[in-house]
Structure 1
Amino acid sequence: MTSRFVYNCGLRWSDLDAYGHVNNARFLTLYEEARVALIFVGAKEAGFDSFEEGVVISRHEIDYLRPIDYGDPVRIELWVEEMRVSRFTVAYEMFDGDVLASRARSILVPFDLAKGRPRRLTAEEQRFLSLWSS
C-alpha cells in the first residue's frame, strides 16, 4: 500500500475561468502547492532542507476527469510513484468532495542551482521520499 500525503487546498476566485470552473492551467498551480507542502515544508519538518538547493520539473501530465466549481477546498493526495537516483515521479489525485476530478504526474529532477546542472538524490532525500512511496 502506498502512503499518501494529503493536502487540502483552498480555491481562489482567480482560479476560475469564464465558465466558473477551475481553469485547466490552475490545476498545475494547485498540484504545485501540494507538492511544495510535501518536498519543502514536509522535508524541513523532517529535519533537512536540501530540496531547497534545487529541484526542477522535467515533465507534467494531467488527466482532467471533471470540472471543479468554486467552493470548498479540494483535497489533493500525492505519493512518490517512482524513484531513481537522478529523478523521481510524483503522482497526484485531486478530489472535489469525494469525487475524483483529476489525476496527474510530475517528474522532478534534483538540481544543483550553483553549478547549473542536475544532481543525484542524497540518501537522506531518498529515505524521506520512500515514506511516500509504495
Structure 2
Amino acid sequence: MEQFLSQYPVHTRINVAWGEMDALQHVNNAVYFRYFETARIDFFGQLGLLEQGQKMQIGPIISENQARYRRPVTFPDSLLVGVNISDIGQDRFLMNYAVFSQAQKVITTTGSSLVVMYDFKTGQKMDLPPELVDVLKAQEAAKA
C-alpha cells in the first residue's frame, strides 16, 4: 500500500456498495467509470480548481475514458482510487487512475481519462490556463 500511496498521493476512498455488483457477483464494469469520476472531481476539489473554473466559466471535459480490469472486486470492500497526471499538452492532459482494493491488498483496476480544457462561454476547447499547468506539473512531479 505504501507504494500505491507514493505513486498516487491524491486519492479518494470509496466503499463498494452491494448494488454495484452484477449478476456475476462482482462490481459491474461500468461502475468503475463512476469511481473514476468521483476521484477526478475529488482531485480537482482537493486542488481548489473547481471554484476557480466555475467563476471563469471554464473547465475540464472528458474526451475519452479507458479501463483495464485486472481482478474482480466484490462487496464488502473499501477502495482507494488514486489519481496522477501525465502527458500535459497545450489544451489537454491525461488523468491516470488506479483502484486499490483494501480487502485484496492489490491494484485491481487501472484506467485513464483524456481531459480537455473547455470554455463554456464560447463552446470551444481552449488552452490550459498557466496557473492550471503549474498545478498539474506539480502533481505530475509529485508521483514517485
**Residue 116 of structure 1 corresponds to which residue in structure 2?**
123
| Count of paired positions | 132
Aligned-pair CA distance for 1:48: 5.5
Counterpart check, 1:50 vs 2:53: yes
For normalisation by structure 2, the TM-score amounts to 0.82
Unaligned 5+ runs, structure 2: 1-5
Identify the residue that residue 85 of structure 1 maps to in structure 2.
90
> The residue matched to 2:112 in structure 1 has which SS?
strand
Residue 93 (structure 1) shift: 0.8
User: In structure 2, what residue type is equivalent to 1:42?
Assistant: Q
Higher helix proportion: 2
- Residue by residue over 1:83-112, the C-alpha shift from the partner in whole angstroms, topping out at 9 and shown as x without a partner, is 112100011111112211011111000001
- Matched residue, 1:105: 112
Q: Label 1:111 to 1:19 Cα distance change in 2 as closer, same or farther (>3 A).
A: same
**Residue deviations 1:33-69 (CA, integer Å, cap 9, x gap):** 0011011x1232x796227732111111111001000
- Percent sequence identity is 23
Q: Which residue matches 2:3?
A: none
Output the aligned Cα RMSD: 2.0
